[in-house]
Amino acid sequence: MVPGARTRIERGGRGGASLRRLAMSSLVILGVVTITFAVSRLVPSDPASLYAGARARPEQVERVREDLNLGAPVMSQYVSYLGELARGDLGVSFATKRPIAEDLRRFLPATLELALSATALAVLIGIPAGVMAADRAHRLRAVGIRLLAVTSVSMPVFWSALFLQLFVASKLEWLPLAGRIDPGTHFATPTGFFLIDSVLSGSPSNFLDVVSHLILPVLVMAAYPLGLTIRLVRSAMLEVLASDHIEAARVAQVPWRTVLWRLALKNALLPALTVLGLTFAYSVSSAFLVEALFAWPGLGKYFADAILRVDLPVISAAVLTVTVVYVSVNLVLDLLQIRLDPRVVLS
């Protein structure tokens, strides 16, 4: 490859670049909606009977077919689907007959609390660990960290959850087995984020209760993103460490610690920004496994229950919502990168 071919200034400067990303993201969201529509309405051999449930009578199936407008041409179904989404209408759950949008809003804070804590943990530990893994001066430590990273990306979350529950919660009784708070604990929940709510309640024991319930699920959830962060930061660091300015700094006898933690990390951190998006994505997608195991009353448990009942409207609505959130997170990170990086690197 020609040197410098990867780095080019986008036409129209930063404003143009930002606008282009914005347009791209809207296009991606349209694509995502289309795929979700295709998979949930067109793929099943008979969506109506799937929607109505296994034990539905033929006339019930017929009613569902009419309700869902499944007899109409595909294009008109698609257009009405888009219209419903635009109005914020995600449909009705077939198991509970409740509007899905309302349920999602109710369960979202619990999941966000979990996912954001896991993201924070993964990034705060993962970035320094990634730097150490790229440090050739401490070889043994680097190897140990890489081993930790590869273990944590190879471990099924539902398995590590199970054994943490067995040892830490059941055998040692250090932490609660499941749930968000003890059944006996009560406090007002204006935000839905129990960490904040318990602080607002003014009682330290409430806060401790919330934290002790958070630890295990967050640990389990953070494992995969942590391993991912370590690996990505390490490879970004290795790339930077091979560059000329690092060589120059070493020749100039700048202390190795300064080279590693200041000069190199500064340049490696920007590409690692994308890690944040990925971390969030992995936390959210493992949520439905983790929450089901820890009886965590969030989006993930709602989703897992829907999978068990093959409640297709709920599954597709939840997938769609989480994906749109993920695309938005990525867009924000992209825009941030355009602002922060003077080179406006496009790869």
Partner 1 sequence: MAARGRVRHFGCDAVRGGKRSAIQRWSGLLGTHGDAIWHYRRSRLGMVTAAVALTFVVGAVFAPWLTPFAAAGRGVPDLSNRLRPPGAIHWLGTDELGRDVLARLLFGARASLVVAVGVVALSVLVGVVVGALSGYFGRWIDEVLMRITDAFLAFPPLLLAVLVAASLGASLRNTVIAISVSWWPWYARQVRAQVLSLRTRPFIQAAQAIGAPSRRTIAVHIVPNVMAPVWVQATADIGAVVLTAAGLSFVGLGPRPPTADWGVMIADGRHYVLSGQWWIAGFAGLAVVVVAMAFNLIGDVMRDVADPRTRGQLR
> Which CB sits closer to partner 1, 210 or 338?
338
Binding string to partner 1 for residues 206 to 235, with x set by CB under 8 A, is what? ------------------------------
Residues 6+ away with beta carbon under 8 Å from 322:
284, 285, 299
Select from 10-18, 147-155, 244-252, 262-270 the region that touches partner 1 (CB under 8 A): 147-155
Residue 262: other Cβ atoms inside 10 A: 12
Q: Is 299 in the site for partner 1 (CB under 8 A)?
A: no
Strand, helix or coil for residue 99: strand
Q: Minimum Å distance from CB 151 to partner 1?
A: 6
> Which CB sits closer to partner 1, 146 or 180?
146
Strand, helix or coil for residue 118: helix
Report the Cα–Cα distance between both ends of the chain, in Å, rounded. Answer: 13
Length of the chain: 347
Question: Which helix H or strand E contains 87, and what residues bound it?
Answer: none
Alpha carbon distances (Å) from 46 to 26, 65, 100, 280, 316: 31, 9, 22, 35, 16
Q: Minimum Å distance from CB 16 to partner 1?
A: 18
**Which pair of structure tokens corresponds to residue 288?**
């439905």
Q: Report how far residue 66's alpha carbon sits from residue 1's, in angstroms, rounded to the nearest whole number.
A: 58
Q: Is 312 in the site for partner 1 (CB under 8 A)?
A: yes
Q: Minimum Å distance from CB 172 to partner 1?
A: 13
Q: Is 238 in the site for partner 1 (CB under 8 A)?
A: yes
> Which CB sits closer to partner 1, 109 or 313?
313
Angle at 105 between CA 101 and CA 106, to 5 degrees: 120
Q: Is 22 in the site for partner 1 (CB under 8 A)?
A: no
Q: Is 310 in the site for partner 1 (CB under 8 A)?
A: yes
Select from 123-131, 265-273, 312-320, 333-341 the region that touches partner 1 (CB under 8 A): 312-320
Select from 70-78, 93-101, 104-112, 150-158 the region that touches partner 1 (CB under 8 A): 150-158
**Which pair of structure tokens corresponds to residue 323?**
């994906």
Q: Is 35 in the site for partner 1 (CB under 8 A)?
A: yes
Residue 17 near residue 339 (C-beta atoms within 8 A): no
Residue 99: beta bridge partners? Answer: 92
Residue 180 near residue 294 (C-beta atoms within 8 A): no
> Which CB sits closer to partner 1, 12 or 31?
31
Q: Report how far residue 222's alpha carbon sits from residue 220's, in angstroms, rounded to the nearest whole number.
A: 6
Of 292, 287, 318, residue with least CA distance to 40: 318
Binding string to partner 1 for residues 104 to 123, with x set by CB under 8 A, is what? --------------------
**Which pair of structure tokens corresponds to residue 132?**
């150490």
Q: Minimum Å distance from CB 310 to partner 1?
A: 6
Residue 40 near residue 315 (C-beta atoms within 8 A): yes
Residue 208 near residue 215 (C-beta atoms within 8 A): no
Count of positions on this chain that bind partner 1 (CB under 8 A)? 56
Measured over all CA atoms, what is the biggest interatomic distance in the chain, rounded to whole angstroms?
83
> Which CB sits closer to partner 1, 18 or 323?
323
Residue 93 near residue 302 (C-beta atoms within 8 A): no
List the one residue from 158, 247, 248, 258 that touches partner 1 (CB under 8 A).
158
Q: Minimum Å distance from CB 307 to partner 1?
A: 5
Q: Is 295 in the site for partner 1 (CB under 8 A)?
A: no
Q: Is 155 in the site for partner 1 (CB under 8 A)?
A: yes
Please give the residue ranges that form the binding site for partner 1 (CB under 8 A). Answer: 1, 24, 27-32, 34-36, 39-40, 43-44, 50, 136, 146, 150-151, 153-159, 162-163, 165-166, 170, 238, 242, 281-282, 284-286, 288-289, 292-293, 304, 307-308, 310, 312, 315-316, 319, 322-323, 326-327, 330
